[in-house]
């Protein structure tokens, strides 16, 4: 795959737009409603980009053409980070993104993507559906005229790509690293300089030396950005995004104007893609990790306990500051923390306990 073919339109101010009008079944004597979706992902980018395109196509398919879906990748209609305002203003009807991109508007947005030392995918799914997460997300989104649903998850992310080894906390000082969300705030606490960039701009900045390190997603997505050409040290586990939830944000006024059936179609498509993307990402990460190591000489490194402990201490400082922002930020953190404690105990006993013993018996190692 030609990396530039899916990156050329990814940044703000990209060239000519390439709109996709998604094929839908013939519509006979029924109302047709236009639905424009803008995205923060590059067109045809394996994983995040193709998942968003699949979701857009699925909405049109399930609606049998009643929703005429047009999908624009990053830079084709607006820049990646302009998608929130495009939808909130009503210029488009929906976006696909990770909502921690908007933490500058309100820090609580970060919790509905992923936060440092946060929830894994099964824990996140449980919190969102049965622990009050969706209700808090609804409250936050309503202030911006939005209605948001989970539509994907990339699971536990890698710690990132570094052009030098990170053996002590001092190695983080002065490091220019692409890392958004509250994870970026944690790195800043430890002396690094966090940078926020759309995915389509990461490779060039890493190759040029404008940044010294970057996190992205995991082996599958990272492979196709060719990050291995710019940095050889690939660290795990990522503390910053243990279950990165992808969102579809809808203009609430437009969404409310739809029939109940059309609303349910969008919700169902989002729930379907939420499961599909997670399964697809997990299936491919192991395959592409082997490719990175065996075909491209990537050096897999594990963060030391000293560094990880420092991440934890800095995270608590960031959380304390976040809760001071507003009542909603405080209630969101408290709900998240309660779920993390309750679900974490069960996961330690069940999933973690089982996989550790299974892998020990079978000799499965990193």
Residue 28 above 90 pLDDT?
Answer: no
Residue 94 above 90 pLDDT?
Answer: yes
Work out the burial of residue 271: count CB atoms within 10 Å of its CB; fewer than 13 is exposed, 13-18 middle, 19 or more buried.
Answer: middle
Q: What DSSP line would sit under 36-63, residue for residue?
A: EEEESS-TT-TTHHHHHHHHHHHHHHHT
| Helix (H/G/I), strand (E/B), else coil: 132 | coil
Which is it for the CA torsion 121, 191, 322, 315, positive or negative? Answer: positive
Taking the C-alpha atoms of residue 39 and residue 71, their distance in angstroms, rounded to an integer, is: 8
Supply the pLDDT for residue 350: 96
Q: Which helix (DSSP H) or strand (DSSP E) does residue 300 occupy?
A: strand 299-302
Q: What DSSP line would sit under 100-125, residue for residue?
A: GGGTTT-GGGGGGT--TT---HHHHH
Supply the pLDDT for residue 10: 42
Q: What percent of the chain has pLDDT over 90?
A: 91
Name the residue among 1, 131, 62 with its Cα closest to residue 272: 62
Taking the C-alpha atoms of residue 51 and residue 155, their distance in angstroms, rounded to an integer, is: 14
Provide the mean pLDDT of the chain: 93
Residue 11 above 70 pLDDT?
Answer: no
Work out the burial of residue 145: count CB atoms within 10 Å of its CB; fewer than 13 is exposed, 13-18 middle, 19 or more buried.
Answer: middle
Mean pLDDT of 15-34: 59
CB neighbourhood size of 132 (10 A):
16
Cβ–Cβ < 8 Å for 159, 236: yes
Q: Are strands 213-214 and 176-178 parallel, antiparallel or unpaired?
A: parallel
258-309 residue pLDDT tens: 999 999 999 999 999 999 999 999 999 999 999 999 999 999 999 999 999 9
Name the token pair of 146: 């939005």
Whole-prediction pTM value?
A: 0.90
118-169 residue pLDDT tens: 999 999 999 999 999 999 999 999 999 999 999 999 999 999 999 999 999 9
Cβ contacts of 22 within 8 Å, gap of 6 or more: 56, 57, 60, 69, 70, 71
pLDDT-based confidence at 29, cuts 50/70/90?
low
Supply the pLDDT for residue 30: 79
User: Which CATH number is 3-152+245-283 given?
Assistant: 3.40.190.170
Residue 117 above 70 pLDDT?
Answer: yes
């Amino acid at each position: 795959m030609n990396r530039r073919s899916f990156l050329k339109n990814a940044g703000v101010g990209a060239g000519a737009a390439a709109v996709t009008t998604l094929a839908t079944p013939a519509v006979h004597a029924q109302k047709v409603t236009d639905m424009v979706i803008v995205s923060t992902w590059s067109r045809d980018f394996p994983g995040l980009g193709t998942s968003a395109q699949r979701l857009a196509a699925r909405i049109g398919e399930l609606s049998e053409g009643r929703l005429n879906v047009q999908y624009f990748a990053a830079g084709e209609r607006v820049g990646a980070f302009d998608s929130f305002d495009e939808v909130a203003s009503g210029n488009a009807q929906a976006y696909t993104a990770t909502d921690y991109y908007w933490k500058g508007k309100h820090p609580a947005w970060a919790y509905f993507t992923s936060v440092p030392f946060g929830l894994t995918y099964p824990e996140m799914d449980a919190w969102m559906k049965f622990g009050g997460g969706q209700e808090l997300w609804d409250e936050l989104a309503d202030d911006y005229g939005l209605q948001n649903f989970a539509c994907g998850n990339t699971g536990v992310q890698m710690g990132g790509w570094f052009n030098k080894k990170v053996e002590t906390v001092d190695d983080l000082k002065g490091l220019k690293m692409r890392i958004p969300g509250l994870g970026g705030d944690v790195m800043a606490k430890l002396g690094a300089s966090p940078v926020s960039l759309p995915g389509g701009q990461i490779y060039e900045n890493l190759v040029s030396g404008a940044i010294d390190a970057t996190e992205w997603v995991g082996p599958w997505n990272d492979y196709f950005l060719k990050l291995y050409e710019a940095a050889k040290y690939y660290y795990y586990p990522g503390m910053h995004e243990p279950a990165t939830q992808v969102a579809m944000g809808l203009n609430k006024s437009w969404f409310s104007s739809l029939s109940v059936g059309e609303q349910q179609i969008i919700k169902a498509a989002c729930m379907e893609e939420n499961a599909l993307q997670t399964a697809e990402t997990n299936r491919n990460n192991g395959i592409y990790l082997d490719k990175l190591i065996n075909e491209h000489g990537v050096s897999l490194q594990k963060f030391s306990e000293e560094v990880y402990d420092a991440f934890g201490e800095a995270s608590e400082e960031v959380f304390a500051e976040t809760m001071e922002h507003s009542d909603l930020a405080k209630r969101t953190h408290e709900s998240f923390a309660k779920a993390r404690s309750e679900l974490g105990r069960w996961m330690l006993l069940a999933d973690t306990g089982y996989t550790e013993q299974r892998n020990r018996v079978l000799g499965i190692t990193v």
